[in-house]
A and B are shown apart, each in its own frame.
Chain A
């Protein structure tokens, strides 16, 4: 086993554990995550409630488990949709060049130049706050990053010798794009996507800060972190555990992407130093 595959294995195992915990939340959570107990608000971790109780006396462990469902789905859905839209637009722009490139990149620029937060607020104001709309808003903001990255890479690859050679041999554009360019895009996009998923999980939290994330009583890590923020001074356990969950997910995602990148790298001799 190479170090890279071992790393992928470890990160994937951690991520899988988080995903499994989230999927199995309804069965393994010790309590209903919405069950309130106003007599025990902000109670610290105890035998009955391993991670303590929140501002409304709800079991934090159960909420962290259930919250993972929302946070992970938001992350996954956001990245998937952004990647598809951004990757396609970027590849077309980068490969076609010329006016199409200019036009598409101007659209990207306009959206990139536009404060995403405002877009999110506008969207949720019109459509109402919900998990679906959070994904929509994050995708609307997020796809442009992938588009620019893809376009830059394609642009760079287009003038590479092997692409020029393929073109000189009369290969059709689509084939060049799929056979020669797209495989080389995987690594940088994967790096971006793992970050993107981590970023989306954190961004969902930021939208929660504005009150625009998951709606009560649904728990998400971001919403828990935001709800608990007011109690940082008196009950830090409200934020430590969802914060830890986010951190773990972000770390796992990044190490996974990192390892995958090394594993999938088609180019030889990455281990030049050895």
Chain B
């Protein structure tokens, strides 16, 4: 188990570097010039060139890439082209907000999805099943940029019970977490239901059932544990998707997170900030999916390395 975890973490490093390389290439391929954005239109061509030189943007791409990698290795993410502030600080300031939002959304999704999924699987084909799935689907059917304002109008304007936007106490978290989490609860409900049902067909569950173990007992003791594997995988994947998906929710709710910073980085062509953001998102994603793999291995002995290999 520890070996698997170590192996995955070791393998994760090149993934993160590769993602960083991809973003490096991407931002330099995309049209748009940070100097234009920074200097506005009134600057003289000579001043533009001087700034480009000072920022190192006139160096060959490979040299810039080398400098970027060196900085990465020494933990120096550079400085924002716009504000001149260190990228590490800018990103670090935003990480807790995104983490809070993502975890909040995850909690919302799990709280909705697990009971609904199991409920649906316990009575497959009945109206309970269909109602549970349909309910979960409504969240997925509503894009967050539409759902968010609807929730705000309902809870902040009409009912006056929650704040409209911004980050503050727990009250500020409720609406954005629901907006983000509802979208995810659908896939999670669906996955829980599907994999619980699938396990229901397995021999050991049938055996248990034949031995006279009750429906709920079977679900809880046998099916759920095995059904969790794909669910955990999806959770791990979804966590990454959530991190990236926060962009829209953060924009709607004026939530000062990494997603918002990424968009600002794109708009200003603030390369160092953009790279820093992607790095953090990539690292968060890799961490989550590694965690999912490890948990999966713990749940299913067959996927452990070292288990007898059939060749």
Which A residues fall within an 8 A CB radius of B? 3-4, 7, 102, 106, 109-110, 112-119, 121-122, 125-126, 145, 148-149, 152, 155-156, 158-159, 164, 167, 187-188, 191, 195, 198-199, 202, 205-206, 209, 222, 225-226, 229, 232-233, 239, 243, 246-247, 250-251, 254-255, 258, 261-262, 265, 267-273
B30 touches A122 (CB 8 A): yes
- A119–B11 Cα gap in the complex (Å)? 23
- Given A125-B31, A206-B144: A250 in contact with B137 (beta carbons within 8 A): yes
B140 within 8 A of partner (CB): yes
- A198–B190 Cα gap in the complex (Å)? 13
**Contact among B142, B230, B283 with A188 in the assembled complex (CB-CB below 8 Å):** B230
- Given A113-B15, A117-B244, A251-B134: A270 in contact with B200 (beta carbons within 8 A): yes
- A226–B252 Cα gap in the complex (Å)? 12
- A152–B237 Cα gap in the complex (Å)? 12
Min distance, Cβ A123 to any Cβ of chain B, angstroms: 9
A114 touches B190 (CB 8 A): no
Closest 7 CB pairs of A and B: A115-B244, A250-B141, A113-B282, A113-B285, A247-B141, A205-B143, A110-B18
The closest CB in chain A to the CB of B202 belongs to A267
- A226–B194 Cα gap in the complex (Å)? 32
- A113–B149 Cα gap in the complex (Å)? 28
- Given A109-B286, A126-B29: A202 in contact with B130 (beta carbons within 8 A): no
**Contact among A158, A167, A273 with B124 in the assembled complex (CB-CB below 8 Å):** A273
Count residues of chain B with CB under 8 A from any CB of chain A: 73
A148 touches B146 (CB 8 A): no
**Contact among A109, A191, A255 with B15 in the assembled complex (CB-CB below 8 Å):** A109
Digit string of B1-35 for contact with A (CB within 8 Å is 1, else 0)? 00000000001101110110011001101111000
Q: Which of A125, A222, A243, A272 has the most CB of B within 10 A?
A: A272
B303 within 8 A of partner (CB): yes
Min distance, Cβ A132 to any Cβ of chain B, angstroms: 19
Which residues from A are CB-within-8-Å of B14? Answer: 106
Digit string of B217-248 for contact with A (CB within 8 Å is 1, else 0)? 00000000000011001000100110111011
- Given A113-B19, A202-B143, A206-B144: A148 in contact with B282 (beta carbons within 8 A): no
- A125–B23 Cα gap in the complex (Å)? 14
Which residues from A are CB-within-8-Å of B274? Answer: 118
Which residues from B are CB-within-8-Å of A159? Answer: 302, 307, 310
- Given A112-B285, A126-B30: A3 in contact with B16 (beta carbons within 8 A): no
Which residues from B are CB-within-8-Å of A149? Answer: 230, 233
Min distance, Cβ B77 to any Cβ of chain A, angstroms: 17
B244 touches A116 (CB 8 A): yes
Which residues from B are CB-within-8-Å of A117? Answer: 244-245, 247-248
Which residues from B are CB-within-8-Å of A262? Answer: 124-125
Q: Which of B96-116 contact A (CB under 8 A)?
A: none
Which residues from A are CB-within-8-Å of B125? Answer: 3-4, 7, 262
- Given A114-B22, A115-B281: A199 in contact with B153 (beta carbons within 8 A): no
B244 touches A272 (CB 8 A): no
A188 touches B194 (CB 8 A): yes
- A159–B310 Cα gap in the complex (Å)? 7
- A121–B31 Cα gap in the complex (Å)? 11
B177 within 8 A of partner (CB): no
Which residues from B are CB-within-8-Å of A261? Answer: 194
- Given A148-B237, A156-B302, A251-B141: A106 in contact with B18 (beta carbons within 8 A): yes
Which residues from A are CB-within-8-Å of B289? Answer: 109, 112-113
A118 touches B262 (CB 8 A): yes
Which residues from A are CB-within-8-Å of B124? Answer: 262, 271, 273
The closest CB in chain B to the CB of A258 belongs to B133
- Given A117-B247, A118-B266, A250-B137: A222 in contact with B286 (beta carbons within 8 A): no
- A119–B30 Cα gap in the complex (Å)? 11
- Given A126-B29, A145-B237, A233-B153: A118 in contact with B200 (beta carbons within 8 A): no
